[in-house]
Amino acid sequence: MAKQPKSLNGRVVAITGGARGIGKATAAALVREGARVAIGDIDAELAQRTADDLGGGVRAYELDVTSRPSMSAFLDSTERDLGPLDVMINNAGIMPIGPFVEETDASAVRQLDINVHGVLFGMKEALPRMLPRRSGHIVNLASVAGKSGFPHLATYCATKFAVVGATESVRAEHKDSGIEFTYVMPSLVDTELTSGLKAGRGIEKAKPEDVADAIVEALKVPRVDVFVPKVVGRISAVMQAMPRSARESVGRMLDGDKVMVQADMAERAAYEQRAAASEPGHLEQTEEEKQPVG
């Protein structure tokens, strides 16, 4: 018998990195479901503009996901203004690309801080609020890069493998807690994060709304691992059953080894610079910094 979908009406949802892209689209989808939504973002002004645009009583807060006190303050404010936390969506992340040996240590540390510690802090701060009520749902944004390695994306892949592994582990620790866990694995999504990138053969870039709809679906009818688009999950399942040589041949056939390597870095310049400066006090760029990099 099919599970009866859960209603999201009145549920309190906190979303990190909610000012733009997938976070914004997810907030919009949840508002349509009647949820009470809080978005946290390093760019507080943009978060407030996004909240104003979305309407539906969305609240916006400044959030640095690399700081556990900031995460705690974000969820404290959410619960003060909207009520007890029902859903935590750890969405914030950055994706610099380039050859591994040319990656700066600062870039690697920043990716680990945002993509990994941001998710860990989100879970560590959300779970104590949910466990006493034996109710809640944690959604972590991973990536297809959390299942496969891609050239010119080594550290990012490492962070997304970490998100997948951490979610599975924490879920196992709390299997009888009444709390649901989901990790979402999009392919390329048409946001600023994938500017200058073309999807591989046979797979179109997903829309942020596609990921948002998948998240809403997983909240209504809980699932642990969610691929977007769904065909990527089917491809992944088939490939995992293959010997390594065959799996790598199929990956090359789908251009998986070329997507990042052939990136248009001039087109990505604005994103790469913003990702490198994604911390409090460093969002504003000088005119010199705004110039495209060669």
Nearest to 138 by CA among 16, 2, 3: 16
Which residue among 61, 156, 183, 271 is the active-site one? 156
Q: Report the distance separating Cα 259 and Cα 200, nearest Å.
A: 6
Q: Which of 37, 41, 52 is nearest to 82 (CA)?
A: 37
Cα–Cα distance, 107 to 88 (Å, whole number): 26
Sheet containing 136-141, strands listed edge to edge, beginning at the edge strand earlier in sequence: 59-62, 36-41, 12-16, 87-90, 136-141, 179-186, 225-228
How far is CA 167 from its chain centroid? 13
**Which tokens go with 236?**
């992944």
What's the Cα-to-Cα distance from 158 to each of 131, 144, 154, 216, rounded to whole Å?
Answer: 29, 12, 6, 27
DSSP assignment of 213-236, as one string? HHHHHHHHS--SEEEESHHHHHHH
Nearest to 24 by CA among 276, 274, 279, 207: 207
The question of whether 156 is a catalytic residue gets the answer yes
| Residue whose entry in the numeric block shows the structure tokens 């073309």 | 198
Give the span between the Cα atoms of 167 and 123, in whole angstroms: 9
What is the distance of C-alpha 68 from the center of its chain?
18
Which residues share a beta bridge with 186? 228
CA angle 107, 118, 157 (to 5 degrees): 50
The 8-class DSSP code of residue 113 comes to I
Stretch (H or E) spanning 36: strand 36-41
**Active centre residues (catalytic):** 156
